[in-house]
A and B are shown apart, each in its own frame.
Chain A
């Protein structure tokens, strides 16, 4: 397959065939991460800038490790606060970085649409590492990769995603990705965290956790941001946990061999009981591990993919 995308701005723009191709490419990279010498020369001479406008440990490190294992030069820039606070516009910041000729900018930004904005204005490739409440494509791909690893397939599975759907970019990307690959996606969360029209993206919406996870193959719990407590969204973390937290009893509603996922960082005792978080069904650290392989695949493909090997 000839992968044609210069940018990875969201799953929305990727077909089922392309998604599968990315996962297959990630499969071929996964083994590198377990070698003694964890490095291949594939992207030698390429420069990748990780431009992060929001705090991130997992995603930024994962992209950095992915770039380094492909022998690219990776540079991390943490721009605290929005561009406005800094007094420089996003376009100016990005143009200054571009003047140093990076090949790929991996960006996380608090504004939905920010990665698209950048892609429209720069010549280099842009990879979305999370834009506002919009998309987080590499997370969805590593989730799909992990599901495929454990279940052998994605088509035909039932995946329940529970939590703050409204504010989650992970959810939007996952709905596109999983539904395109043939899974049935169910969502659940309190009414204050279910945005209007979300079902149009290709999923079912449930009012309670139990209906969503019943007989599910995969249960994905989302982080509840403690700072939302007391805002009009939820009365307390305590009550949230009671109705939308996952514990061992509730997990019994899912299929016996269901896996439990979480994009991290987890709040123990809130959306996940510690017993579940550490239990035999959890695959949370597999997700993190697979994230590196998936991001290696993304960087490799936007950098030119197969053409690189022919050079």
Chain B
């Protein structure tokens, strides 16, 4: 099985490659990168005018499978991923039942392998049942394929529990992914606290709810020497806390979502529940800080927090609507928009959705090095298109970007050399 991708602009940040090259794939692996490869009998894909990148890695996805398949499942979720140029998704454990035992981990990985259109790397629970009381069996979960541990959606409230979780996960060389939020400060809030929440009469969530917990978790990472990954940073303060901690040598990484670097709480003004998520959309100042964190390397990954919800869970009063939006199919154009707006270089942007999240989680993905698995996205960076929620591959249509113009998309996605999506 030979496949030759001809004449594309190959961008592979790990190897500092950004030039027009041919890529030869043999038996699902990258065999050669060179100009003008003559591979005889290989199937040829003409990539002239396209960018050839490692397949994207989205390190924060809710696949909702098992148990909540009415929102999404492994088949539809990975199909959405493939359509977005994403070849690896890291899925959060707040399914039903939750992923706190080997049986669930194996269910996810085997279903993904048999029926999925992308690699699926599960995240296991920090605590059994996401209850914050007893540690999950992280060793066995890691052996079963879990790449990190999180009680995502819920913070680990108890300080000692978080400390022990970091120490214990470190035994198995796995990061703890923190959903950093002090729930006593959230206190029933449903959007960012500020002038907009005041005007709308919606209870606000102050930035301090995120910063306070981020600070605690960073202290605990510093204390234990373990690897902390802060999920979806959304405030100026939490970006700054991570920046300072990195300077001190603390093993901390973090991610940001496209909606947190593209939108502010002004978007909530019409009470549209497709702008309700957790953490909430913040102020313009916070957006600027997140962008600065992406530009200076403080933020290690762009991840979507893809959170599918059924229309019935969103078509309700704002205060009682579920949190979250889908994101897999808009990750690539929104990331490229930061290049267009000169926030990031193309190399930085690609790194934030490929090799850098791979580095955070120790995934052997996110590069086009010879010998690497041929997970590849062929991207038309200039194609203008308009998001139509009803046309999304995801089962759920809760996007913040319905009707918005985008620039750039994946025209073809390869998973270990096999085409899993083609436009």
Taking Cβ atoms with an 8 Å cutoff, the residues of A that contact B are 82-84, 89-91, 109, 111-114, 116-117, 131-135, 166, 169, 172, 195-198, 200-201
Nearest-neighbour CB distance to chain B for A116, whole angstroms, equals 6
* Inter-subunit contact A89/B316 (CB<8 Å): yes
* Inter-subunit contact B198/A90 (CB<8 Å): no
Minimum CB distance partner of B269 in chain A:
A113
Instruction: Tell me which of A111, A116, A132, A201 has the highest count of chain B C-beta atoms within 10 A of its own C-beta.
Output: A111
**How far does the alpha carbon of A206 sit from the alpha carbon of B205 in the complex, in Å?**
24
Q: Given A132-B202, A134-B200, A197-B199, verify A116-B315 contact (CB < 8 Å).
A: no
**How far does the alpha carbon of A154 sit from the alpha carbon of B179 in the complex, in Å?**
51
Contacts of B381 in A (CB 8 A): none
* Inter-subunit contact B194/A196 (CB<8 Å): yes
* Inter-subunit contact A91/B315 (CB<8 Å): yes
Nearest-neighbour CB distance to chain B for A100, whole angstroms, equals 22
Q: Which of A84, A89, A132, A196 lies in contact with B201, CB distance below 8 A?
A: A132
Contacts of B312 in A (CB 8 A): 89
* Inter-subunit contact A198/B318 (CB<8 Å): no
Contacts of A198 in B (CB 8 A): 195, 198
Q: Which of B198, B200, B202, B315 lies in contact with A196, CB distance below 8 A?
A: B198
* Inter-subunit contact A133/B202 (CB<8 Å): yes
Nearest-neighbour CB distance to chain B for A225, whole angstroms, equals 15
Contacts of A132 in B (CB 8 A): 201-202, 319
Minimum CB distance partner of B202 in chain A:
A112
Contacts of B317 in A (CB 8 A): 82-83, 90, 109, 111, 113-114, 117
Nearest-neighbour CB distance to chain A for B317, whole angstroms, equals 4
Residue B253 is within 8 A (CB to CB) of chain A in the complex: no
* Inter-subunit contact A196/B316 (CB<8 Å): no
Q: Which of A83, A90, A195 lies in contact with B197, CB distance below 8 A?
A: A195
**How far does the alpha carbon of A222 sit from the alpha carbon of B193 in the complex, in Å?**
23
Q: Pick 30 A–B contacts, CB within 8 A, sort by A.
A: A82-B317, A83-B316, A84-B316, A84-B320, A90-B317, A91-B316, A112-B200, A112-B202, A112-B271, A112-B318, A112-B319, A113-B271, A116-B271, A117-B271, A131-B201, A132-B201, A132-B202, A133-B202, A134-B200, A134-B201, A169-B201, A172-B199, A195-B198, A196-B193, A196-B194, A196-B197, A196-B198, A197-B195, A198-B198, A200-B195
Nearest-neighbour CB distance to chain A for B271, whole angstroms, equals 3
**How far does the alpha carbon of A133 sit from the alpha carbon of B196 in the complex, in Å?**
13
Contacts of A90 in B (CB 8 A): 316-317
Contacts of B193 in A (CB 8 A): 196
* Inter-subunit contact A201/B194 (CB<8 Å): no
Count, A-B residue pairs, CB within 8 A: 72
Contacts of B200 in A (CB 8 A): 112-113, 134
**How far does the alpha carbon of A89 sit from the alpha carbon of B319 in the complex, in Å?**
13
Nearest-neighbour CB distance to chain B for A199, whole angstroms, equals 9
- Which residues of chain B in 202-252 are interfacial with respect to chain A, using CB atoms and an 8 Å cutoff? 202-204
**How far does the alpha carbon of A91 sit from the alpha carbon of B319 in the complex, in Å?**
15
Nearest-neighbour CB distance to chain B for A260, whole angstroms, equals 25
* Inter-subunit contact A197/B202 (CB<8 Å): no
Residue B15 is within 8 A (CB to CB) of chain A in the complex: no
Nearest-neighbour CB distance to chain B for A92, whole angstroms, equals 10
* Inter-subunit contact A201/B199 (CB<8 Å): yes
**18 extra interchain contacts, Cβ-Cβ under 8 A, other than A111-B317, A133-B201?**
A83-B316, A83-B317, A84-B316, A90-B316, A112-B319, A113-B201, A113-B317, A116-B270, A116-B271, A117-B317, A133-B203, A166-B198, A172-B201, A195-B204, A196-B195, A197-B196, A200-B195, A200-B199
- The SS class assigned to the A binding surface is mixed
**How far does the alpha carbon of A201 sit from the alpha carbon of B198 in the complex, in Å?**
9
Minimum CB distance partner of A12 in chain B:
B199
**How far does the alpha carbon of A116 sit from the alpha carbon of B319 in the complex, in Å?**
13
Contacts of A197 in B (CB 8 A): 194-196, 198-199
Q: Given A116-B270, A117-B271, verify A111-B318 contact (CB < 8 Å).
A: yes
**How far does the alpha carbon of A90 sit from the alpha carbon of B196 in the complex, in Å?**
24
Nearest-neighbour CB distance to chain B for A179, whole angstroms, equals 13
Contacts of A131 in B (CB 8 A): 201
**How far does the alpha carbon of A90 sit from the alpha carbon of B320 in the complex, in Å?**
11
Contacts of A111 in B (CB 8 A): 317-320
* Inter-subunit contact A113/B318 (CB<8 Å): yes
Contacts of A117 in B (CB 8 A): 271, 317-318
**How far does the alpha carbon of A200 sit from the alpha carbon of B283 in the complex, in Å?**
15
- Which residues of chain B in 284-319 are interfacial with respect to chain A, using CB atoms and an 8 Å cutoff? 312, 315-319
Nearest-neighbour CB distance to chain A for B206, whole angstroms, equals 8
* Inter-subunit contact B202/A113 (CB<8 Å): yes
- Which residues of chain B in 346-361 are interfacial with respect to chain A, using CB atoms and an 8 Å cutoff? none
Minimum CB distance partner of B184 in chain A:
A232
Nearest-neighbour CB distance to chain B for A203, whole angstroms, equals 11
**When A and B form their complex, which 5 residue pairs have the shortest distance between CB atoms, in order from nearest?**
A197-B195, A134-B201, A133-B201, A113-B271, A111-B317
Nearest-neighbour CB distance to chain A for B150, whole angstroms, equals 28
Minimum CB distance partner of A136 in chain B:
B201
